[in-house]
A and B are shown apart, each in its own frame.
Chain A
Amino acid sequence: SAVISQKPSRDICQRGTSLTIQCQVDSQVTMMFWYRQQPGQSLTLIATANQGSEATYESGFVIDKFPISRPNLTFSTLTVSNMSPEDSSIYLCSARERASYNEQFFGPGTRLTVL
């Protein structure tokens, strides 16, 4: 199984600033995902991070607000740009070794509070 780490684990940020969250997987994986969990809500997929190409964003999420990098098969970053209090959420990185595989692994999450 893949072990996923995220940095930072939590942060408190000011409105209008940006935060970059890092996700590191201990093995090479084909698919990496970024999820958002707003307070009291379920997980929502932000985007699929594609290695060597632009991320695939879900409806309601745009690259200008959530730029994503995926330079290799073990690492990805998510930036939350121009933050507002509505961006206060837990952001989770997730990975699957192959697209066809069912097993999916999750990181410890980054708890973001925007003042």
Chain B
Amino acid sequence: KNEVEQSPQNLTAQEGEFITINCSYSVGISALHWLQQHPGGGIVSLFMLSSGKKKHGRLIATINIQEKHSSLHITASHPRDSAVYICAVKKAQKLVFGQGTRLTINP
């Protein structure tokens, strides 16, 4: 079993829909990252969380340390949100990555 599990693996939605991507982990961590990877391959860091909730524009990330679970929400989704979203946890000095969620938003 992977130390970081994401669901769903693939998600297709219509523009405007509310999107939720989930991440569960099984190890002790000092921080959790949500990353966005576009088709070109480059990775952008969206959020880094140690507790609670963060919001940036239409994106919201939450983490529940006791349940070892995090969610990434996108409100009013747009085709430009189409990308792979990756959850990564900081375990000791290293990042452990989830498999990613491929999100496609259709106009």
Which A residues touch B99, using CB under 8 A?
Answer: 41-42
Contact check, A103 vs B48: say whether CB atoms are below 8 A apart: yes
Contact check, B50 vs A102: say whether CB atoms are below 8 A apart: yes
For the complex, count residues of A whose C-beta is within 8 A of B: 21
Question: Could you say which interface size class chain B belongs to?
Answer: 20 to 34
Q: 24 A-B residue contacts at CB 8 Å?
A: A9-B40, A37-B41, A42-B97, A42-B99, A43-B88, A43-B97, A45-B95, A90-B41, A92-B43, A102-B30, A102-B48, A102-B50, A102-B90, A103-B45, A104-B90, A104-B95, A105-B45, A106-B42, A106-B43, A106-B44, A107-B43, A108-B41, A108-B42, A109-B40
Give chain A's interface residues, CB within 8 Å of chain B: 9, 31, 37, 41-43, 45, 48, 90, 92, 99, 102-111
